[in-house]
Chains A and B, each alone.
Chain A
Amino acid sequence: MSIAALDGVRVIELGAGISAAFCARVLADYGASVLKIEPPDGGDLVRHWGPFPGDTPHPEKSGTFLALNAGKRSITLDVGSPQGRELLFELLADADVLVENNPPARMRDWGLDYDALAGRFPRLIMVSITPFGQTGPYADWKGYDLNAFHLTAAGSRYCGAPDREPLEHGTFSADYYGGYVGATWALASLFAQDELGGEHLDVSCAEAIAASFTGCQNIGDFAQNGTIAKRTGVGMALAAPATILPCRDGHVWMMALETAQWKGLVHAMGDPEWARLELFDSMFTRAQNADLIYAMMTEWTAGLGKQEIMDLCQANGCPSTAVYTIGDAGSLAHLHERGYFARPEHPLLGQVRILGAPVHVPESPGGPASAAPLLGQHNSEIYRDRLGLDDTRLAALHARGIV
């Protein structure tokens, strides 16, 4: 038996939406004890986002909430009130990490910004994940995931048709990116917390992506040569095949750049006459004739299923893959076999399948130990047992809408 990677780590999550909840979820996955603080009037707004079973809204049945908050405990607390803040301070006294994604001005109004907390809680590692960051002229701008994503130039550069609007992935990809970044930096600070004490980790989702994704492969060229590269609508403009093509039951990501990969693809396609042209020997000349190549390849892919094409290509040394829908990916035997999915028991829904831990750590328990909490499910445990509040005081706080 071994001790979980984050055994004994106490995390308080004070946020709404995706980024902070995801950051805290991956800490919970590896043994941290995460206490989620929700506003008494309705809780985390993700409780109202769904998807709901049968599309019937219910604050305890939001799928996104279930996914992001498994393994946590929930209390309700109005941290905007003076009494609420005092209770939060009592909880912060023995917390290691505070994860939050509130607008910086709201945290200041509440007296919960890092400067206000650091003196009182010198060991506290505070992770602030916001669209734009704690500083700079946009710090107090209003922003959501979509705003953050499109501030990175990732859409303009890489996604969409040249004459149409730039696209984000069809999910909260900026929020998740920031959540991963926050969790990574938090783990490092935790590793050295005994020696170094607390720290404030100011994560801007937009900045993380603008730097490490778009910036990495574009900013040197722009600064030196003034190159402003834009999206093209195909996977790669300069080499081919490298794009998504339709097939009988969906789509495939066709990819064959190196000579051996192209030869493998040609073999997989049954060695058609057209593919033998010398013109198609290099990925660059293939790209110059992309319309022709993609039309010919589509004739082949149209008759086959995505998995069939993927298997044929992979067997022939060509790294093409099926474009799995979430139904395909969510049903993969591969992922079942690896134990990627978890089925914690939810008080209202029974066992619901959710995505497990993001990284497989063989010797440390990974994945959620319990289902997502009901709103305020742990009020009694935390307020009575941990903070020692008596019934009278708790009733008074309840009456005033603080708990």
Chain B
Amino acid sequence: MNARLPLAGIRVANFGWGWAGPVTGQTLSRLGAEVYKIESRARIDINRTIPPFAPGHHHDPDCALQNHAGWAGNGSITLDLKHPEAQALARDFVAHCDVVVENFSPGVMDRLGLGHARLAERRPQLVTVSMPAAGRSGPLSHVRTYGMSLSSITGLDSVTGYLDGPPVPMENAYADPLGGILGAFATVLALNWRKRNGRGMHVDCSQQEGVMQLMAPAFMDFVLNGRVARPLGNRHPLAAAAPHGVFRCAGEDRWIAIVVAEDTEWQALVQAMGAPEWSRDPQFAHHAGRVARIEELHRHLGAWTTSHDDRALAAQLQSAGVAATPVLDVGDLLSDPQFRARGTFFEFEHPLGFRETLYGNYVKTRKAAAPQRTGPMIGQDNDYVFRELLGLPAERYQRLVTERIIY
């Protein structure tokens, strides 16, 4: 530490929005790229308007906390892209970039004069990563979804819920940060291709196809047996472990996750429980017997865990060799010993005079790690990009600002 990061020298123009767009930029930044968000005061990014704000900075678009976490590592320049001159400046900027990231509906970038083909005329090595909901082609390419509901068209939502009950929504967009990481995957993949072939390309990164990979086990059961998977609660999706669930502990909304995949783990669990009568049933000694009577097994186990403290019980079971972990809630994340030890979250001294807590480099590396950063203030990199990189004369720059083109 700290050697050069792998994407050092790669410059990215991030036209992304929502949650997936910022995460792609953030991920590339963690890998060493220099990333700039293109945004405008004419239509403030909705993420900048979502509470909570830093104390004393209410409704300040530079101080929305979750916006900072999502956009961390991205820089920012402002351009009101409804003006042709702003579009031309965006093209000038992209001519200095290696990568364009966008997650508009198909066609929007073309209408702004920012389609890949046009951009690549000036920059044949350009990699453009488009990440629409369902790809750039095909009958569903214009489907409109929110990140939260995107998983509904992958099958994922249909298997999430209590055993034999209706689908239960995941109340936030798992597909968004995952899709954002997928966008970074697509970008670095294309950069590897560029290195071998000497030119850029337009990558079609369908969020639907990326997220649907998680459904491979259920998909295979459909293909091989015509079976359509349904919600299983927390049970093992392929019945390869029993017990496999979340059990109530002492206290309000406290739970423990316990998985027993091997017979030796079962024996360890039985010992830890003090070998109660029910657990000595010889059928339970073997995987097949436990799977066959999993409901009964879970009922007994849940009755036992309910008087225990989740953390103490997890530690006790772990020392016996059982895969048991406390089910954390949001309030546990900062104090959890594992996340503290790994520096998962950190306090950041913001230049506007407040401290905020963000998540950091969650992949641990040996040689090089990106600096800890927050999200950008609007237009914080205008001077560097427009004056230094593009070399705009002071007069023209001033005019563009006054005319709200750089805005």
Contact = CB atoms under 8 A, between A and B. Distances in A.
A22 B332 CA distance: 30
A53 B225 contact: yes
A334 B201 CA distance: 23
Contacts of B325: 138, 141, 143, 147-148, 150-151
B363 A146 contact: no
Contacts of B4: 192, 195-196
B70 A216 contact: yes
A326 B204 contact: no
A64 B6 contact: no
Contacts of A150: 246, 255, 257, 325, 327-328
Contact of A325 (B181, B213, B229): B229
Interface in B305-347: 318, 321-334, 336-339, 341-342, 344-345, 347
Interface in A217-236: 217-236
Nearest to A45: B240
Contact of B337 (A137, A190, A236, A355): A137
Contact of B338 (A136, A168, A229, A359): A136
Interface stretch (A82-90, A204-212, A275-283): A204-212
A177 B365 contact: no
Interface string B134-177: 11011111111110111011111111111000111111101001
Nearest to A186: B188
A9 B136 CA distance: 29
B385 interface: no
B113 interface: no
Contacts of A204: 342, 362
A400 interface: no
Interface residues of B, number: 153
B154 A165 contact: no
B227 interface: yes
A181 B225 contact: no
A54 B69 contact: no
A180 interface: yes
Given A171-B217, A180-B182, A324-B152, A5 B192 contact: yes
A134 to B, nearest CB: 7
A317 B19 CA distance: 21
Given A143-B323, A144-B261, A324 B153 contact: yes
Given A136-B342, A328-B155, A192 B357 contact: no
Given A52-B224, A144-B241, A362-B202, A184 B181 contact: yes
Contacts of B356: 220, 223-224
A210 B338 CA distance: 11
B332 A153 contact: yes
Nearest to A148: B325
Contacts of B341: 135-137
B210 interface: yes
Interface stretch (B85-93, B231-239, B270-278): B231-239
Interface residues on A, range: 35 or more
A167 B321 CA distance: 24
B109 interface: no
A330 B222 contact: yes
A81 B245 CA distance: 35
Given A168-B234, A173-B214, A359 B69 contact: no
Contact of B205 (A217, A326, A360): A360
Given A210-B333, A323-B157, A188 B170 contact: no
Contacts of A324: 152-155, 158
B178 A177 contact: yes
Contacts of A55: 225
A171 B54 CA distance: 37
Contacts of A148: 325
B43 interface: no
Interface stretch (A242-250, A285-293, A380-388): A242-250
B224 A63 contact: yes
Interface in A117-143: 118, 132-138, 141-143
Contact of B342 (A64, A68, A133, A157): A133
Given A64-B238, A169-B214, A361 B190 contact: yes
Interface in A289-322: 314, 317, 319-322
B186 interface: yes
Contacts of A355: 212-213, 215-216, 219
27 contacts: A6-B192, A51-B221, A64-B217, A64-B220, A133-B338, A147-B259, A152-B328, A160-B162, A166-B327, A167-B246, A169-B174, A170-B160, A191-B195, A199-B366, A200-B365, A207-B344, A210-B344, A212-B180, A219-B69, A221-B66, A224-B52, A246-B166, A326-B159, A327-B228, A329-B154, A337-B137, A355-B212
Give the top 7 A-B pairs by smallest Cβ distance, nearest first.
A63-B220, A170-B159, A220-B65, A223-B357, A136-B341, A211-B359, A192-B6
